[in-house]
Chains A and B, each alone.
Chain A
Amino acid sequence: MRRRSTFLLTAMCFGFAFLYVPILSLIVYSFNESRLVTVWGGFSTRWYGELLRDEQVLEAALLSLQIGVVTATAAVLLGTLAGLLLARFGRFRGRLLFSGMVSAPLVMPEVITGLSLLLLFVSAEQLIGWPSGRGMDTITIAHITFCMAYVAVIVQSRLSSLDESMEEAAMDLGARPAKVFLVITLPIIAPALISGWLLAFTLSLDDLVIASFVSGPGSSTLPMVIFSKVRLGVSPDINALATIIILIVTVFVIIAGVLMSRQEKARARDAQRALQTQD
């Protein structure tokens, strides 16, 4: 085997160290006995136990999950409609403006999105009395607003690579347009919808800035709780919480990776078989 260059090896080590040393140290310190985060006091899992008894963190986690699920689902519904319009409606007056406006939330600074939504909610409450106060509802609406843009972009790109004659063929064979969408288009773009949902869910779970603007008393999402706890000084149970989150994410990524590579292999095998049985 060819000897690898020392320079490349060093570069790789530094790169990985840069990415993973902080995370590793966080995981290691989550098993720290000591109350002082930076002083090693022996191995222990006491902070995990403490975390499970921390009502505030559990509540926030539950709230974040709820918001995430509702947001992702609604964003997929609305984003798919926007994506469909962009990919299928052909040319219409103001199409460029529309597509630019749909993707604006992708590049808009979060502070501006958050602030403008806060202003909207406040004046809407004054004008029509809804939403009364700020809480889970307003956070969810705010999250749907910016997640929708991501879903629209994903769905649009999937749809534009879809052979339109497939839909025409279904119609030609007697299916009405609504049926064509349900039976042909939807199953074919399903992977895009799933990845759009997961992306929206992650974005919602992750968001601190926008949620801070539009949340109200008693409705703190998990990132908000973590942030406020850390501001008072890093406590070891946050390390434990972070470790759990990392663990969950890792498991999901591995499962998705395994599934995708299996699918890829099956596809390659099928293609091979098709070539062999060609007549």
Chain B
Amino acid sequence: MDQVSDATAQPSGRRPAAEFADTPWLDPAARPFIDVRGVTKKFGDFVAVDDVDLQIYRGELFCLLGASGCGKSTLLRMLAGFEAATGGQILIDGTDMAGIAPYERPVNMMFQSYALFPHMTVESNVAFGLKQERVPRGEIRDRVAEALQLVQLSAFAKRKPHQLSGGQRQRVALARSLVKRPKVLLLDEPLGALDKKLREQTQFELMNIQDEVGITFVVVTHDQEEAMTLSTRIAVMNQGRISQVGTPSEIYEFPGNRFVADFIGSINLLEGRVAYETDDFVAVLCPELESELRIDHGPSVQEGQKVWVAIRPEKIAIRPDSGGALPAGNAVRGVVEGLGYLGSETIYRVRLDGNGDGGAAGGRMIEATAPNLTRSARRAVDWDDPVVLTWDSAAGVVLTS
């Protein structure tokens, strides 16, 4: 606790104002706890991390999300001190980390492979970090017991790592990295080695533990569901750069560019040009659709500009085509070409009618999902049915890049 309370004594590390308690990144007066400034890492000619700026605040559970090879792990290893940045600066709690060795940093890391010491018991594994700090023996005993209790492994203290299951090993690794009460805990794919059921359960445990200890967590993951569940904020990384930073719902509902929109969840991306703009909406004409697209609150766009409209499948309503005219905007006709029953919901893949030429093949495919609200075995919409897809003008997002 010493490190943490020292930090709170500094004026800039003060507790965030009450209104920003859960969203410190919105507080204009808050100083970032981890400040990554223009950091670049090159391995030979390969640029793993490319001029990244990132601010993470105290108490956040921050996720670095990206496909493998996007530089997220390299960034994490630079925070831990295992890699030195080729350029830029990393500050943790106001201190420049350049030239500070891993064993002198106020951060601890939980490794993807857990990296438990096979020749030590669970207890000695957890005590290892405290012994390096020359903490008195009695205190080590108490803190180890406390950490093991936190992860519910008190009964396994005398076991060796190979006598534990995967989930138990994961929790030993967590206890070992938490027991030193670091300023920042780095977690590299913390749930990657667990099976699906255990992973979901552990996600919530991890959140509870973070809440309890109040340490800033930085998590690296390639699993978007994990990132969405866990984080206060997510940074989506692509090819060494940060594509977007935001809360899970910001990332999902307001993706900043096509990469993020496509990477997170499934989405329909429609290319078109801005036709006109009113006070209420932007109208986009898309060559693949009959009707125009109307979208609320876009970014400022110019007439004729090339844009993409992104619409999530679950925001599209599907109903059988009963003939008659379509509404003025945000409605298309098509035929169900694919149908996936997932239990909780059904995915429809709908082939759109061509652009006004009476249903020529080769129209665009649009994906829509609908929750299965009743247990009825008979579907309202089935294979090869003509359907109408409609959506609200608030459903889509205009992307310019």
Chain A interface (Cβ < 8 Å from any Cβ of B):
163, 165-166, 168-176, 179, 184, 187-188, 267, 270-271, 273-275, 277-279
Contact = CB atoms under 8 A, between A and B. Distances in A.
Given A188-B119, A278-B167, A173 B129 contact: yes
19 contacts: A165-B113, A166-B117, A168-B109, A168-B115, A169-B115, A171-B102, A172-B80, A172-B108, A172-B177, A173-B108, A173-B132, A174-B103, A174-B132, A187-B119, A267-B162, A270-B160, A274-B164, A278-B167, A279-B165
Interface string B106-120: 011101110111110
Contacts of B176: 169, 173
B383 interface: no
A163 B165 contact: no
B128 interface: yes
Contacts of A169: 109, 111, 115, 117, 176
B6 interface: no
A273 B163 contact: yes
Interface of B: 80-82, 101-103, 107-109, 111-113, 115-119, 128-129, 132-133, 160, 162-165, 167-168, 176-177, 180
A118 to B, nearest CB: 44
Contact of A279 (B113, B160, B162, B168): B168
B118 A174 contact: no
Contacts of B133: 174
Contacts of A174: 103, 129, 132-133, 180
A151 B177 CA distance: 35
A168 B102 contact: yes
Contacts of A279: 165, 167-168
B225 to A, nearest CB: 23
A187 B119 CA distance: 7
B102 A166 contact: no
Nearest to A173: B129
Given A171-B101, A172-B177, 7 more contacts: A163-B115, A168-B109, A168-B115, A169-B117, A172-B81, A173-B180, A271-B163
A163 B103 contact: no
A175 B176 CA distance: 14
Given A187-B119, A275-B165, A278-B167, A172 B132 contact: no
Nearest to A273: B163
A165 B115 contact: yes
Contacts of B129: 173-174
Contacts of B82: 168
B162 to A, nearest CB: 6
Contacts of A175: 103, 128, 132
Contacts of A270: 160, 162-163
In order of increasing CB-CB distance, the 6 nearest A-B pairs are A174-B132, A173-B129, A278-B165, A169-B115, A165-B115, A270-B163
Contacts of B128: 170, 173, 175
B13 to A, nearest CB: 23
B111 A271 contact: no
B115 A166 contact: yes
Contacts of A168: 80, 82, 102, 109, 111, 115
Contacts of A179: 132
A172 B165 contact: no
B167 A172 contact: no
A155 B109 CA distance: 28
A36 to B, nearest CB: 57
Nearest to B128: A173
B150 to A, nearest CB: 16
Contacts of B113: 163, 165
A176 B163 contact: no
Nearest to A162: B118
Contacts of B180: 173-174
B165 A277 contact: yes
B98 to A, nearest CB: 18
A274 B162 contact: yes
A277 B80 CA distance: 34
Nearest to B186: A172
Nearest to A179: B132
Contacts of A271: 162-163
B296 to A, nearest CB: 48
A176 B103 contact: yes
A276 B109 CA distance: 29
A188 B113 CA distance: 16
B119 A172 contact: no
Contacts of B116: 166
B257 to A, nearest CB: 34
A270 B113 CA distance: 20
Contacts of A278: 165, 167-168
Contacts of A277: 165
Nearest to B108: A172
A269 to B, nearest CB: 9
A172 B165 CA distance: 24
A179 B116 CA distance: 16
A174 B108 CA distance: 9
Nearest to B201: A279
Nearest to B164: A274
A275 B169 CA distance: 12
Nearest to A271: B162
A15 B187 CA distance: 57
A120 to B, nearest CB: 41
Given A188-B118, A188-B119, A270-B163, A172 B168 contact: no
Contacts of B101: 171
A171 B167 CA distance: 24
A213 B176 CA distance: 56
